[in-house]
Structure 1
Amino acid sequence: MNVGILGTGGMAAALGGAWTRAGHRVLIGGRNHERAKLTAESIGAAAHGSLEDAARHGDAVLVAVPAAAAPQLVSDLAGPLAGRTVIDCTNPIVATSDGLLLDEPMAGRLAAAAGGAHVVKAFNLCHVSIWTLHRPAFENVPLAVPYCADHPAAAAVTETLISSIGCTPAACGGLARAAYLEATAALAIGLWWSGGQPRAMFPPMGQVA
């Protein structure tokens, strides 16, 4: 599968590297040509180029830029993104005296900004380091990757990308439910930062009386 990545930072490199290892043809796109080149070379991606190059390359396109910049970027690229699966891995969260809070939900904003693209919320719950692992599994259970999507073909593309890196797709409904994934990220990241273990809150169903 052709995968375009908008961005050159940690998530771009980690997920781009995972998909490259899985045999997908990844193109890293960035505003800075040299950074795009370095990121692509560091993960063995097929190519690098501009943000528009990445948007046009992908059967799927990952939005891997800071949440605050994502809506305008997607709006600017609405033409080349039309008809494509656009995966939003951003976390629109803000730090407050009460801890991390969800800012304005992002996935719906990107869907509105992208026009004819098929936006999916996915890959936003785990730290960037998790995506550098080969076939991530914990307690002998493959990592589940929740996603929200409205379009069946986009859901299928997302499931292929999840499965190809050894993880288990976890469908969580339509894009209207994406805000729940974003809020979950705010809760989980806050717990991790305070030394807690979000995983400990969810016992396996087989062990529930």
Structure 2
Amino acid sequence: MRIGVLGTGNMADALATHWVRAGHEVVVGGRDAAKAAALAERIGAAGHGSLRTAAAYGDVALAALPYGAGAEVVREVRDVLDGRVLIDCGNPVGPGFTLLTDGGPSAAQRLAAAAPGAHVVKAFNLCHEDVWRMDPPVFDGRPLAVPLCGDEEEALVRVRELVKDVGCEPFAAGGLERAGLVEATAALLIGLWVAEGADAQSIAPPLAYATGLQGGQVR
């Protein structure tokens, strides 16, 4: 697969490293040419260039951009994103772990509005970049699960493949209208991890108990 990476930060580095190792052709794009060149060299990418160069490259583009800049960048290159899959891994989380999109469209929906011809999929936003650097992200023998939100089945098929190339298991979280729920989950989890030092995994019971039917008892 040919993948253009928009951004040169930690998320771009972590995810693109996996995809290069899996044999995909990756081009890194950024506003800072030197940073794009350095990242491309470090991970063994096929090339580097501007944000437009990366957006126009191949089948899939990863928007590894800060919230606030993402929609602006995507709007600038929307003409070359037509028909391409656009992965949004960003989180609209502000000071105090507040959800910056509260009451409005999700960050992923804002990218979709900025580039109406692109097929946006929300993914990879629930973990710190250090988790994505793991090879693979497996905990107690269990691969990390990655929820995906998107409206186009062909786009979801491509992103599922990329999730598996990171060593994770994809699962369907609904259409793009549900991306806001995944982003809100990130705001909640980040707050619990950072502010409370809580093990967020302890929030959810095992699946056998989640329905209330464990042991034949309904509560």
TM-score under structure 1 length normalisation: 0.95
Partner in structure 2 of residue 58 of structure 1: 58
**Equivalent residue, structure 1, for 2:2:** 2
1:205 to 195, 202, 207: 207
Give the deviation of 1:203 after TM superposition: 2.5
Deviation per residue, 1:138-177 (Å, 9 max, x gap): 1111110111000111111110101122210011000000
Counterpart residue number, 1:41: 41
Unpaired segments of 5 or more residues in structure 1?
Answer: none
- Paired with 1:28 and 1:88, the residues of 2 have a C-alpha distance of 16
Instruction: Indicate the residue corresponding to 1:70 in structure 2.
Output: 70
Counterparts of 1:67 and 1:40, CA distance in 2: 23
Are 1:101 and 2:98 matched, yes or no?
yes
Give 1:136 shift: 1.1
Q: Secondary structure at the match of 1:108?
A: helix
1:118 corresponds to which letter in structure 2? H
- Aligned ranges 1:122-141 → 2 under 5 Å: 122-141=123-142
Q: Deviation at 1:42?
A: 1.4
Task: Kindly name which structure, 1 or 2, has the bigger radius of gyration based on alpha carbons.
Answer: 2
Report how far residue 201 of structure 1 moved: 1.1
The offset of 1:207, in angstroms, is 5.6
Asked if the contact 2:15–2:166 (Cα under 8 Å) also holds between the matched residues in 1, the reply is no
Counterpart Cα distance in 2 of 1:128 and 1:137 = 14
SS of corresponding position for 1:68 = coil
Letter in 1 for 2:48: H
What residue identity is the alignment partner of 2:85?
Answer: T
Which whole-Å CA distance do the structure 2 matches of 1:65 and 1:58 have between them?
A: 19
Equivalent residue number for residue 27 of structure 1: 27
Aligned to 2:82: 82
1:187 equivalent to 2:188? Answer yes
TM-score normalised according to structure 2 size: 0.91
List structure 1 segments (4+ residues) > 3 angstroms apart after TM superposition. none
Q: Residues of 2 paired with 1:42 and 1:174: CA distance?
A: 35
C-alpha distance in 2 between matches for 1:140 and 1:207: 21
Considering only aligned residues, what root-mean-square deviation do their CA atoms show, in Å? Answer: 1.1
SS at match of 2:69: helix
Question: What percent of counterpart residues are identical?
Answer: 50
Report deviation, 1:58.
2.9
After TM superposition, give the deviation of residue 90 of structure 1 in Å.
Answer: 0.7
